[in-house]
Structure formats: structure tokens, C-alpha cells
Structure 1
Amino acid sequence: MSRLPAPPSELVSFLEGLPEPHILLDDRHHILAANGAYRRQFGVAGSVVGLTCHAVSHHASVPCDQAGESCPMAQACASGQRERVLHVHHTPLGEEYVQIELTPVAGAEGGPGFFVEKMVLLPVAAQPVPSAQGLIGRSPAFQRMLGLVARVAPSRAAVLLLGESGTGKELVAHAVHQGSVRARRALVPVDCSSMPEALFESELFGHEKGAFTGATQARPGLVEAADGGTLFLDEVGDIPLPLQVKLLRLLETGTYRRVGSTEQRHADLRVVSATHRNLQHMVVEGRFREDLYYRLSTFPIHLPPLREREGDTALLARALLERVAPPPRMLHLSGAALALLEAQPYPGNVRELRNLLERTALLCDGDAIGAEQVQQALACGLPPLAGGVEQGAGAPPALSVTPRRSPALGDDALRHALAAHQGSRAALARQLGISERSLYRRLKTLSALR
């Protein structure tokens, strides 16, 4: 290896005093310095100076852009400015999501002589491998969503989470809160769909004694409880139209009044809202205020449905099994069972997957879940809803929601199912939830690939 450039001592000293993990790189990805915060947070044993960043963080022999990931250094060289990306790094706790912020530092002749890389473990997600807690996923769609969460979480911007039922909007709301400066204060959820219109204003803003029949004492509302923290408005599309104007006033001025009071109160809070409805359609139909929509949707984030998260079903299934069948019971999925799970369309998304796994666990007497238990759980489940999912929650109106078909069943998963199955091809097709013609076409393709 050629001799590394000597980093400016002032820059190394400056990085050492920063509380966040930082490393200093040359233009060939070699680490020139690593501060104490980096060594403590990532548990580095020995010096990393002289090693490449991709070898340390990814255990890879080539830079990220040659291994299927975005390389912040390549982006910074192209743009000449700071770049941010979301990566999965190897850490002492396993693989974890890390927010990378790389800044070029001009050299003596004006070109980028060094690169300062800041790394922050995301408090918004668990390890991308199976875990009993947190957001879980490795698919490109999931990582794009998580990257947006990481960007907006530290800001004050209002966030609107758009997605079908069961995609994990409340978990993402917690992620936004945990990644913000308000994480030490309360996250207060408001279930807008279950609150009667007559009580909504009182629950949200509070009321004074005698404000209405039954108000025997003054009571603070949920807005007051969220002061200094985050107010999470779940299913915001269900807020009654007459009350939307009062919510708009809170968002615009930070002020509100308790029911039965003329005193104007102030609340310092951030609003995260969520809905499975198409608010743009509701605005056009006059069922949702346009000005409120724009206040809530400063930073909209679309949560991908499970059918668009290729490969995540297996990760989620293993993690969810820990929740529906906690220790000392230790269940595991056979290859055929996993193949069958991955072949389902899941109109109810992660919530439906959890319900299916809970049924399957109850039908399993041993510690290994086979395809027959999954098939039995599918057979005793509810039939698909006739109306399907309401169209357009954060997606273009022209797109329709279609079930995931047989191509979502990967080649390896199909081989596992084929090896484990002892019956006819017709029975295997029924087990996988596909037609016999589709099965034979897939088997023909597999045969041609050998």
C-alpha cells in the first residue's frame, strides 16, 4: 500500500473533540483518523487507520458503489458538497442501520483533499436482521422509507405518514419521535377514528369545570400532555370537518383554548399524523380542509405495503414469531413454510402476517412449523375483503392495488417447497397459492437455469 497522506493535526484534534462518531478519509477510502466517539460507539478493537472504510464497516473488499450500495464519497466528488446516505454497517451488536454524512474538505490546491464522515446509529430502527422490537427490513423500499425518516426526524417539520392499514404507521411515528430532539418528552397518540365528535374537542384541548354536563372538574387535554414532545394524530382523515379548523389554528399559531374557557394557551409540540385515506381526494370532495392538508404534509412519507418489500417477509416472520410465541417456546419455520408465507399477497400487510403466524403457532404442537400448519392457518382465516384496501394512501391515483403473484416466490424458496413436498404437483400449487399452470411454468424455468 502506498504511503497515506498526513492529515492536518488541527483537523484531527477538532474531530476528537466532537461527541458524534467521526472518521477522516482520503480520496481512496483509507481511514486516516478516527475519533474517540467512533471507537467507543462501534467498539473498534485496535486501530483502523490505514484500513478502508468499506472493509471496516461492510467487511467488503470494494467500495460501496461497486457492491450494490450508494457511496457518499462518489456522490460528494460529483456534487462537490456534503452528501448523506443510509447504510447497513457491521457493529458489535450485529448489522445496524447507520446514517452517513460525508463532507469534502478542500485540499491545498482547491480539490477535495480529505473527507470527514460522520456516522450515527439510527435510534429509529432495530437491527435489520430479525429482532423482537423496532422497525425491521432490508428491502430497497423499506430502506428508502427509513432514509426519509432519518432525514426528517431531527427537524421540526410536520410529518404525514401515508400507507395502507397494517404497514406500521405508529411504529414509524415512534421512530420520528425517537430521532428528534423531543425524544426525552412524551409522544402522545390520538386515535382520531375512535373518538366521538362530541368528545373530540374536549379530549384534544381539555375542558374547564362546568363546560358541559358531566364536567365536574377541569381537565387538561392531549395537546397539553404533548407539550414539549410530539402529538401523533393517527387516522387524521377521520377528524370531523368542523374541528379541523381548530386543529389548523393550533398548527399555525401554537395556541388553543380549553372547552368552556376564553383563556388562550400555548403548546410547543411537533405534529406527526398518519392515514390510510387519500387526503388529496378528500380535499377535492370537500371532506378535508385544503389548508390543513398542507399544514400536515410538510414532509409526507409513503410506507410501502408488504407486497412491495421483497425479502422482508422472512425477516418479519422470524421476528414476529418471538412475539406471538415467546420463550421458553422456540418455534422455527421450515423452508416450505417460509416459501408459502412469502407467496401470500397480504392485503392487511404486517398486521395480517402477524395474525397468520399467531394462528400457525397455535396449530403447531412441536417446535418446527411446516407448510401444512401454514396451509391450515390460511384455510381457517377470514376470506379477503370484497372492497380491498382504499386506493391512494400516498400512492398515485392511477395505480391500483393488486395481489402479489407467483413471481414473488423466489427460486430458492420454490426449491425448498419442492424438496419438502411429497404429494402431487396440483397439491403443491394449492399449497403455494398459485395455479398449476404457473407452477409448471416456474418449474420449467428452474430446470432451464440448471
Structure 2
Amino acid sequence: MISAPLPADSGSPALPELTAYLDALPEPHILFDRQYRIVAANAAYRRQFGQGAPVVGRTCHEVSHHSPVPCDQAGETCPLARSVLSGQRERVLHLHHTPRGEDYVQIELVPLRDARGQPSYFLEKMEPLPIAQSRADAQGMIGRSPPFQAVLELIARVGPSQASVLLLGESGTGKELAARAVHQASHRASRALVAVDCASLPETLFESELFGHEKGAFTGAHAARAGLVEAAHGGTLFLDEVGDIPMTMQVKLLRLLESGTYRRVGQTELRRADIRVVAATHRNLKAMVAEGRFREDLYYRLSTFPILLPALRDRAEDIALLAHALLERVAPGRALAMAPAAMRRLAQHPFPGNVRELRNVLERAALLTDGAIVTAPTIERSLAFDAFDGSGAQALVGVFQGAAGPHASHARRDATLRSVEDAALRLALSTTAATRQELARALGISTRTLYRKLRALGDQSGVGENG
């Protein structure tokens, strides 16, 4: 990266020597003035962002962003504006247009000073950030909302370091994907990422699973076995739901983090582990520390760099992007599309289960859709699966299947659509306290149709109309 001042007599910094230097760099680089005009661009930039058109003389925001105004007037952070204020190099995360579409790019900008010490030109280096995408056809982390980009920028900063990362957030916010992104952004990306599900390991097996054991260390240990720490050597150890680690194991984990050493169960010899630790939890670890259920020293060792993942309701503008991506995953090969009204209905839902809940809803919708378009009534019906308790859900399953519970044999005997429907509707009414509006949505029919069916059934169930 160039950091020297420009010659005082240089009318233009696009000197042959500078152009030759930039062309030798593998990453896209441009040099531009305080009016955002590009005065030099290397071959990598022209190839990735120029798309065959000349770039010198045009503004950087026009070429990189396809925008007529600077970044800070289009919803992004402008590194030039920040550098003018700070007088230093600046790093920001941007979405740039490429031949593949919009991609995340990490920007590093260095001010170049004239003979008076004033920043007259700026050298910008661009590195692709493959750990996340803004397109629905991508894998991994997907989004473009400001909360999503804020998390992505933190991951990009901490990824190349050795710092321990603590991922916080509600269940279903994508903490495992974020852990994988931290690993991919690190220098350990070519080595293993080993996940430990702390919530599923019983206390009696936790130590041997984590550290391994020697032959005969305990009943059933018929052979020596390496643990997950050993499997992660040289790579990343991901401790998922770290708040569920037993207290007896917390001190041994702390020793591993502080000294990089551990012992297999049944062994006295110390082993060394070259690992980077990423932990995740939906619990409030600070509260657990105050209650004496989590070691304070371990908490501070794990939370060197905490990252809070936003709930889906706080990044609602990403729902459409996520919905298209998830539909492709839950129904591969079907080319399902979302009706505009269906997408609007999704956007109105609070999604307490976050992205995991959104995936469930879309998988149900795909199963309930026979054509190529997922409609709003189908989304309503898919959302209604979660609106009832266990007994109500069983009734609805009966409705969707065409028969339920003790009435199924009667339905088989009569073998008529009306008898099956009546039996299922009676069971649904008897096992849920839903309003008629809620029941109609769950059944995928209008309230008027439900009332007509109830009149035909002669229902006297007393289910409230409004609540």
C-alpha cells in the first residue's frame, strides 16, 4: 500500500511509475481526487468493475456503485469523507457492482498528501468479502440491511485476528453461520472448523468428548480416543450454546483457553492445542455470572470480541432476500416464486423464531403449494401451524390430512368427502380455543366459508367470533 506523499510538482498523480505499480497489485486499486474522480486504476479494478468501459475521469461511486451521488448520500459510509475528518486511513464495508451482481467488498483507503501536508488524492484498495452475499442465489450469510452489514463488518475485522469471539443473540439468528464466517475470514480457513454442541453433551461425557480419553480411563473406554479439541488443532473450535457448559468443566476449559494445554481423561501428560475459539449462546451470560452459574473469568476469556446478531424483526428488509434463498433450499428444482401478497404477509410477521422459523414456514408453504406460485393464503396457513397448542395442532393435522383421531375410522367407513370434513372440523373445534377468524386462517379458507360450513354442521361450540 502506498503511503508516501506525492511529488510537489506532480500536476497529476497518474504517473507512469504509479500506474505500473498499481497494475502489479492483484487486488483492485484506484487513485482518485477529492471530487471522487478516478485518475488511475489498475487492471484488476478495470476488469472487475469497469466491465469493458473506461474508468479514468469518472467518479468512483459511479463505477463501483452505479450511483450518481457519493456513498454517504446513498446510505453507505464514505471512506473519503471519514478520512478527510480523521486524517488517517479508513476501512469500511461496501456493496459494489460486479459482473456477478452486487458483492460485499472491504475497502481500505489511504490519504496521499501534497507538499503542504493536505490530503489531495486517495488510494483505495478493494478486497472481496466472500463470507456473505446480498443475492438470494448465494450460500452462507445473506442480507443487505444496515444491522446485517454492521455484523458483517465486525466479522471482517475480527476474522483475521486470534481473538476469541462470543456470538450473542436469540435462537435462530444464524450464530452457526456467523461462526463459520469468522472461521472463513481467518488465516485458519484451510483447517478444520469443529463444532461442539454444549447443550447436548451430558456432564459425564463432556470432558472425554472435548479432550479425549486413554484406553481404560473409564468403563467402556476400550481404546484411546482423540477429543474435539485435538480435531480442531490448527483450526477453529466452535462452542455452541456455551452457557450450558457444566460448572465442573468450565475451569478446565478456562485452563485450555489461557495456557493452550489440556489432558486427555486418564492421562497425566499435557497436550498442546493450537486453536481459535468462537463461542455462541442465546443466554444472558452476564446474568448467569451474577447468579453464580457461570465463571466470571471464563466469561471474560470468551468475550474478547462479542458480536450481537440481530433478530429477524430488526432486519425485516432482509426477509424477501432470505425467503427467495430459503425457498430454493427447501424445494430444490421446483423454481417456486412468492406472490407479492405472500411476501407482504411474511414481512408483517414478527418471527419470534427468527430465520429458523422463516425456513419452517417456507418449507410448509412449499409442501402445501401444487403450482409454481406461493400465495398469501398458503403463507397464512403455514404460519397458523404455530398458532395452536399440541391438541389444536393435532386437530389441524387431521384437517389437512382429511381425517383425524377417533373420527378417522368413521370417515373411512363412509368414504365421503363431506363426512371426513365434518369429522375433522368437529375435532378442530373441540380441541382448540382459537377464534373463528384464526381457525379460518389455519384451515386456509375464508371466514365466510367457515361460517357456511359451521351452519351446515349445525355447530353450537361457542367459539368466540372476536377473541
Q: State the TM-score, normalizing by the size of structure 2.
A: 0.79
CA shift for structure 1 position 249? 0.8
Aligned with residue 164 of structure 2, among 158, 164, 176: 158
**What are the superposed Cα offsets for residues 396-441 of structure 1, whole Å, 9 maximum, x if unpaired?**
xxxxxxxxxxxxxxxxxxxxxxxxx9999xx9xxxxxxxxx9xxxx
Aligned with residue 75 of structure 2, among 61, 65, 68: 68
| Residue 137 of structure 1: aligned partner | 143
SS of 1:310's equivalent in the other structure is: helix
Instruction: Tell me: CA distance 1:422–1:70, structure 2 relative to 1, closer, same or farther (3 Å).
Output: farther
CA shift for structure 1 position 17? 3.1
CA root-mean-square deviation:
2.3
| Residue 174 of structure 2: aligned partner | 168
Q: Distance in 2 between matches of 1:263 and 1:355?
A: 48
Is 1:23–1:35's contact at 8 Å kept on the other side of the alignment? yes
| Residue 107 of structure 2: aligned partner | 100
Aligned with residue 276 of structure 2, among 261, 270, 278: 270
Aligned with residue 357 of structure 2, among 322, 338, 352: 352
Q: Distance in 2 between matches of 1:372 and 1:69?
A: 37
Aligned with residue 343 of structure 1, among 339, 348, 354: 348
Q: State the TM-score, normalizing by the size of structure 1.
A: 0.82
SS of 1:6's equivalent in the other structure is: coil
**What are the superposed Cα offsets for residues 348-369 of structure 1, whole Å, 9 maximum, x if unpaired?**
0000000001111111111111
SS of 1:311's equivalent in the other structure is: helix
Is 1:201–1:259's contact at 8 Å kept on the other side of the alignment? yes
| Residue 433 of structure 1: aligned partner | none
Is 2:233–2:275's contact at 8 Å kept on the other side of the alignment? yes
Q: Distance in 2 between matches of 1:345 and 1:27?
A: 44
**What are the superposed Cα offsets for residues 225-271 of structure 1, whole Å, 9 maximum, x if unpaired?**
11111110000000001101111111111111111111111111110
**What are the superposed Cα offsets for residues 159-189 of structure 1, whole Å, 9 maximum, x if unpaired?**
1000100000000111111111111111111
Q: Distance in 1 between matches of 2:52 and 2:69?
A: 22
Instruction: Tell me: CA distance 1:120–1:357, structure 2 relative to 1, closer, same or farther (3 Å).
Output: same
Structure 2 unmatched ranges of 5 or more:
1-9, 391-444, 452-465
Alignment of 1:24-423 (within 5 A): 24-42=31-49, 44-126=51-133, 128-327=134-333, 329-383=334-388
Structure 1 unmatched ranges of 5 or more:
386-420, 428-436, 438-450
**What are the superposed Cα offsets for residues 126-170 of structure 1, whole Å, 9 maximum, x if unpaired?**
2x1212411111111111111111111111111100010000000
Instruction: Tell me: CA distance 1:322–1:287, structure 2 relative to 1, closer, same or farther (3 Å).
Output: same
**What are the superposed Cα offsets for residues 53-92 of structure 1, whole Å, 9 maximum, x if unpaired?**
1011111112111222211000000000011111111011
Q: Distance in 2 between matches of 1:208 and 1:47?
A: 66
Percent of residue pairs bearing the same amino acid type: 66
Is 2:104–2:129's contact at 8 Å kept on the other side of the alignment? yes
Is 1:132–1:323's contact at 8 Å kept on the other side of the alignment? no
CA shift for structure 1 position 221? 0.8
Instruction: Tell me: CA distance 1:98–1:207, structure 2 relative to 1, closer, same or farther (3 Å).
Output: same
SS of 1:233's equivalent in the other structure is: strand
How many residues are matched? Answer: 388
Q: Distance in 1 between matches of 2:251 and 2:352?
A: 34
Instruction: Tell me: CA distance 1:241–1:326, structure 2 relative to 1, closer, same or farther (3 Å).
Output: same
Could you say which structure has the higher helix fraction? Answer: 2
Instruction: Tell me: CA distance 1:423–1:300, structure 2 relative to 1, closer, same or farther (3 Å).
Output: same
SS of 1:380's equivalent in the other structure is: helix
Counterpart of 2:358 in structure 1: which amino acid? L
CA shift for structure 1 position 37? 3.5
SS of 2:142's equivalent in the other structure is: coil
CA shift for structure 1 position 104? 0.7
Instruction: Tell me: CA distance 1:38–1:269, structure 2 relative to 1, closer, same or farther (3 Å).
Output: farther
Q: Distance in 2 between matches of 1:324 and 1:348?
A: 17
Counterpart of 1:358 in structure 2: which amino acid? E
Report the more deviating stretch, 19-28 or 303-312: 19-28
SS of 2:386's equivalent in the other structure is: coil
CA shift for structure 1 position 330? 1.4
Is 1:132–1:320's contact at 8 Å kept on the other side of the alignment? no
CA shift for structure 1 position 346? 0.5
Q: Distance in 2 between matches of 1:51 and 1:141?
A: 31
Alignment of 1:409-448 (within 5 A): none
Is 1:202–1:258's contact at 8 Å kept on the other side of the alignment? yes
SS of 2:217's equivalent in the other structure is: coil
Q: Distance in 2 between matches of 1:113 and 1:13?
A: 21
Q: Distance in 2 between matches of 1:41 and 1:196?
A: 51
